[in-house]
A and B are shown apart, each in its own frame.
Chain A
Amino acid sequence: MTDRVRAGRRGGGKGDRVMVPPAEFRSYYGRPIVKKPVWTHDIAAYFFTGGLAAGSALVAAGADLTGRAALRTTARLTGLGAILASTYFLVVDLGRPSRFLNMLRVAKPTSPMSMGTWIFSGFSAAAGLAAVAEAAPLLPRRGAVGLAARALPVAGRAGGLAAAALAPAMATYTAVLISDTATPSWHAAYPRMPFVFAGSALASGGAAGMIGAPTAQAGPARTLAVAGAALELAATHGVEHRMGLLSEPYRTGRAGTLLRAARVLTAAGAVGALLGSRSRTVSALAGGALLAGSLATRLGVFEAGKASAEDPKYTVVPQRERLGTL
């Protein structure tokens, strides 16, 4: 009912949690105030595949410029696959998928989704061109097709560099997208979420390179994977512990489980990447763990936002604290 309910830390746990003083709050029959996002897991999957595509684009461009052909090929193809998956996830999450193109009729600076659609479109075109260029060796060398085949690597490099230039925006705009909502635990995380997503994207892009390229070429991918994993772990820790009551949804329930799994997978993957630099098998296993960790991070962040919208406590208590009338 409208009685006062105690809101505070829920569940037992480790000592490193920030203490949130228990607070009393009132609500309308315990019903949510803000609407929980209507998005499904598809959107979390998109954050993962979009991040993977962005990380891969950076790896591919670096590999191209430093003459690591195998790493370049694997990164470009990973990028293409991730872009195709991203397109699917983006479109199915619309209530009216057939109207996807309505987003390409306007460019609206106040809408991160509008800006993001343009970033994604430009990025996809460039990265797609780079991936198509990988087909050059398969084409005949003579005639008109041969001419195209010889032009392809140049076009591929141009596309790859353009994709790499857009990749950091591609990896981080999604953090702005979820932060720019009234979903309490997403909005509060806006100074940290871009770092979570940037780290997660680097970790996954590097991981894919470690899996697909021979160890002799995969060095930089490994470096990026480890650096990304470290950033992902550190920034996620901040989200889980430095936002007072609004950190709670990241530690409890399904989100808590997913983010704990993400931490274990990402940490194990980073260690494996460091230790297994000479073994293709260890590298591949470590890469797999990093990819799974990145996906679990996105799903955990998604679930935490939903949970924070479902409980009026997360809307009322921080606002009351802000007003100084709790």
Chain B
Amino acid sequence: MNSLFGPIDPAKDAGYTDAPPRMGFFTDTSVCIGCKACEVACKEWNAVPDDGFDLLGMSYDNTGGLSANSWRHVAFIEQAAPSPAAMDVLREAEATVSTQFLGMPSSTLPGTEGREGRDLRWLMMSNVCKHCTHAGCLDVCPTGSLFRTEYGTVVVQEDICNGCGYCVAACPYGVIDRREDDGRAWKCTLCYDRIGEGMTPACAQACPTQSIQYGELDELRERAAQRVEVLHQRGVTEAKLYGHDPDDGVGGDGAFFLLLDEPEVYGLPPDPVVTTRDLPSMWKHAGVAALGMAAAAVVAFLGRRP
């Protein structure tokens, strides 16, 4: 049985000997321009069906959230709390791509140069499966359909999944979901088929600003820590990492983030804990209740012989 809590190497814990380094994503939201190239590339490469056309009235977000048919989701948050330093960073990122071409709005009024006229700030973040060190989805799956790859990622084998839906309720991030029409569970595979060939996952490949970075997790963690340093020096004091800490409630995420506001503002749980951490205690309580049942039955029948 795999361990249920604490910092571990998930591939080794799952029984791989000689596993390659753990791979993951570092998503730096400070340079996300909200182009949704990641959403599109993911759908294209993985042949994910469309999820209907909805106008949600939530800024530029008409995807809504991660689902069986959306494995990347770009969140848009408009805030009346300008952060000039963060806007400078975003501006520079925008300048590296032709936003005109992508049909994207600019984060400031056309023609404005300086820091004036910024009474709004835009947060954008591309969300994805966290490929948790302790993955609730994987722990509870009763068929073995969800499994740990040699890269430390978490993947569904759709030919085994029977659609029990347990993983959906077990994910602390609300990532994995059951597809209506085919009844099976789906989520990001961290492009298992691509990384096995030494390629970069489709979303990271498509990202024009390197907001989505793919690589060895150890290396990404170092890079992310440096990035936070740089941003703090530039005055973006609100920059912080999310999901990078192997001592957190899920043993650290394989896909972690640099955020500019609290996690819940982006739709992320502030302190996720893998539900199976408490599984031994759950069984103990159930055991006491079960013993009580048996004792009640014995007493009820022995107490009164006919």
- Residues of A with Cβ closer than 8 Å to B? 1-2, 25-29, 31-39, 54, 58-59, 61-63, 65-68, 93-97, 99-100, 102-103, 105-106, 108-114, 117, 164, 167-169, 171-173, 175-177, 179-183, 187, 190-192, 194-195, 197-198, 201-202, 216-217, 219-221, 223-224, 227-228, 231, 309, 312, 315-316, 319-320, 322-323, 325
Contacts and interface: CB of A to CB of B under 8 A. Distances in A.
Given A182-B171, A227-B300, A99 B294 contact: no
Nearest to A109: B1
Contacts of B179: 95
Interface of A is mostly: helix
Contact of A181 (B142, B169, B262): B169
A198 B141 CA distance: 25
Contact of A62 (B177, B268, B301): B301
Given A108-B144, A110-B140, A38 B165 contact: yes
B3 to A, nearest CB: 10
B303 interface: yes
Contacts of B282: 112, 175-176, 179-180, 190, 194
A153 to B, nearest CB: 19
B278 A187 contact: yes
Contacts of B82: none
The 6 closest A-B pairs by CB, nearest first: A95-B163, A95-B183, A168-B290, A28-B267, A99-B162, A62-B301
A323 B162 contact: no
Contacts of B294: 58, 167-168
B291 interface: yes
Nearest to A68: B306
23 contacts: A2-B77, A26-B265, A28-B266, A28-B267, A33-B174, A62-B298, A63-B301, A93-B164, A95-B161, A99-B163, A102-B160, A103-B162, A105-B143, A106-B144, A108-B144, A110-B1, A113-B164, A168-B289, A172-B286, A197-B289, A202-B296, A224-B300, A320-B271
B162 A95 contact: yes
Interface in B140-170: 140-145, 160-166, 168-170
Which residue among A96, A177, A195, A216 has the maximum number of chain B CB atoms within 10 Å of its CB? A96
Contact of B164 (A1, A103, A227): A103
B235 interface: no
Nearest to B143: A102
A172 B292 CA distance: 11
A180 B276 contact: yes
B164 A28 contact: no
B290 A93 contact: no
A130 to B, nearest CB: 15
Contacts of B177: 35, 38
B39 interface: no
B14 to A, nearest CB: 12
Interface of B: 1-2, 4, 58, 64-65, 75, 77-79, 136, 139-145, 160-166, 168-179, 182-185, 262, 264-272, 275-276, 278-279, 281-283, 285-294, 296-301, 303-306
Contacts of B170: 180-182
Contact of B300 (A38, A62, A175, A319): A62
B293 A202 contact: yes
Contacts of B174: 32-35, 182
Nearest to B58: A29
A99 B144 CA distance: 13
A202 B268 CA distance: 41
B161 A31 contact: no
Nearest to B271: A319
B183 A94 contact: yes
Nearest to B267: A28
Contacts of B184: 95-96
B275 A182 contact: yes
A95 B143 CA distance: 13
B2 to A, nearest CB: 7
Contacts of B168: 35, 37-38
Given A28-B264, A28-B267, A217-B306, 16 more contacts: A26-B265, A27-B264, A34-B173, A68-B306, A95-B179, A102-B143, A105-B143, A113-B166, A172-B289, A176-B279, A180-B170, A182-B136, A182-B169, A195-B289, A224-B296, A316-B270
Nearest to A170: B290
A220 B286 contact: no
A96 B298 CA distance: 41
Contacts of A117: 142
A66 B298 CA distance: 11
Contacts of B292: 195, 198, 231
B171 A180 contact: no
A111 B141 contact: yes
A95 B297 contact: no
A315 B288 CA distance: 29
Contact of B169 (A35, A67, A173, A316): A35
B293 A201 contact: yes
A196 B160 CA distance: 34
